[in-house]
Homo-oligomer: A and B are copies of this chain.
């Protein structure tokens, strides 16, 4: 475990965060960091990822550790490195050194944790070894698959309310993630003319992230089949007429995420049909960002995107009818079947381990409307919230070839006209947007998104 040099104010930042928590929660809180998840055998694990709630209040990705928070005090529980771990993993900072760095009031070995669990609330970590330990120590099931229950639910609500808006320390990390994410996309565009496979563009992009000693914040999507929304294959050859959709984000060493999508022509030139649709998606993107300001409902941003897309498709002759009416009947979801975005922070879908607790304002539930059910965020915007804005256009065979869907939307789609856009399988444009007191700030603004500049970045 490396103690970063930039952490001089880490202790101060963490003190403010736990003071906020102490104002909301009177129970003692214990947060575990988690341990390695094994890959094909225990000694060959996936790279360690600390639990995000732990990271938020402990500041460092310490494996096999826990913190206890009560009344604004921070107690660190972790074991000093054993002699054999020093042999294999080198000299590590001691528990006391880490405690000092993060401003812990007390530091104890992990074995003492069981003496301090009375009345404690917690949140489940993802790895089985640790949630088993949580359940045993607390003598109740703490399962990552289930939403928090009972007194843990109060903790979840409190943490969600705190993590919903970002402090300066978080924003410093989020800007770092955004900058490296932007660079990865630029390098991906520049690498495309020399690449024969999707995998080669992915390699160029992830190479940037690895070179900055960061990791990807989610499994990258780099595909000429953008119509497959979660496409994690990279084996397709790049053909001159293809659009390449890249949804790739960097995560800093301290766990803060970037999340950006661009779509560019493999040849360096959009076809006229590709450019037409690209500009519809871009118009939706720009309209949404222009509308972002405190007090605006995120659902309205989503519906604005739907309306701008519907308007654009009417203009192109793909839809026929009134755009407002098309959105009311969810026709936009034929081509834009997902939500306009989500919260971004320590998780790429921030706090999604708590279900919709962070994404949805208390009392609100997911809609079962075709055009709204995948919306992950439904709250009024507040300064300090970081959201993605990611409109798209996709020709998903599973949607467009569905007999019920075709019959329902028979008269609003000009299927003949649509067939002229066959070279547009999937386009998405995604940026990371901070809500500010004045409106918004696009953290990923350094990455161009207009069609001409994108063509120039791809070059040839």
Given contacts A126-B39, A203-B207, A44 and B87 within 8 Å (CB-CB):
no
Contact partners of A207 in chain B: CB under 8 A: 203-204, 206-207, 210
A67, B349: Cα distance in complex, Å: 35
- What is the count of identical protomers in the complex? 2
Contact partners of A399 in chain B: CB under 8 A: 87
Contact partners of A181 in chain B: CB under 8 A: none
A409 within 8 A of B: no
Given contacts A38-B126, A41-B349, A200 and B206 within 8 Å (CB-CB):
no
A347, B44: Cβ atoms closer than 8 Å: yes
Contact partners of A234 in chain B: CB under 8 A: 210, 213
A117 within 8 A of B: no
B87, A348: Cβ atoms closer than 8 Å: no
Contact partners of A88 in chain B: CB under 8 A: 228-230
Contact partners of A384 in chain B: CB under 8 A: none
Contact partners of A229 in chain B: CB under 8 A: 87-89
**Which chain A residues (14-38) contact chain B, with CB distance < 8 Å?**
37-38
Contact partners of A352 in chain B: CB under 8 A: 41-44
Given contacts A210-B203, A235-B2, A346 and B91 within 8 Å (CB-CB):
no
Contact partners of A37 in chain B: CB under 8 A: 37-38, 46, 126-127
**Which chain A residues (112-133) contact chain B, with CB distance < 8 Å?**
126-128
A428 within 8 A of B: no
A42, B86: Cβ atoms closer than 8 Å: no
A43, B227: Cα distance in complex, Å: 19
CB of A170, distance to nearest CB on chain B (Å): 15
A124, B375: Cα distance in complex, Å: 38
A199, B213: Cβ atoms closer than 8 Å: yes
**Which chain A residues (209-248) contact chain B, with CB distance < 8 Å?**
209-213, 218-219, 225, 227-235
B218, A197: Cβ atoms closer than 8 Å: no
B228, A40: Cβ atoms closer than 8 Å: no
A255, B41: Cα distance in complex, Å: 13
Q: Which of A47-55, A271-279, A304-312 contacts B (4 or more CB under 8 A)?
A: A47-55
**CB nearest to A87 among chain B residues:** B398
A145, B203: Cα distance in complex, Å: 34
A182 within 8 A of B: no
A49, B40: Cβ atoms closer than 8 Å: yes
> Which 9 pairs, one residue from A and one from B, show the smallest C-beta to C-beta distance?
A128-B128, A90-B228, A203-B211, A203-B210, A207-B207, A41-B353, A199-B213, A38-B126, A86-B398
A397 within 8 A of B: yes
A396 within 8 A of B: yes
Contact partners of A49 in chain B: CB under 8 A: 39-40
**Which chain A residues (374-429) contact chain B, with CB distance < 8 Å?**
396-399
**6 A–B contact pairs at CB < 8 A?**
A41-B126, A41-B347, A43-B352, A47-B219, A200-B211, A203-B211
| Most central of A51, A213, A348 by chain B CB within 10 Å | A213
A202 within 8 A of B: yes
A44, B344: Cα distance in complex, Å: 13
A206, B44: Cα distance in complex, Å: 17
A208 within 8 A of B: yes
CB of A245, distance to nearest CB on chain B (Å): 13
**CB nearest to A132 among chain B residues:** B128
B199, A211: Cβ atoms closer than 8 Å: yes
A2, B233: Cβ atoms closer than 8 Å: yes
A233, B213: Cα distance in complex, Å: 9
Instruction: Please give 18 more A-B residue pairs, beta carbons under 8 A apart, in addition to A41-B352, A203-B211, A204-B207.
Output: A2-B235, A37-B37, A39-B49, A40-B52, A40-B126, A40-B255, A41-B347, A41-B349, A44-B352, A47-B232, A87-B399, A88-B228, A90-B228, A91-B398, A127-B128, A200-B211, A207-B207, A207-B210
A258 within 8 A of B: no
A42, B144: Cβ atoms closer than 8 Å: yes
A150 within 8 A of B: no
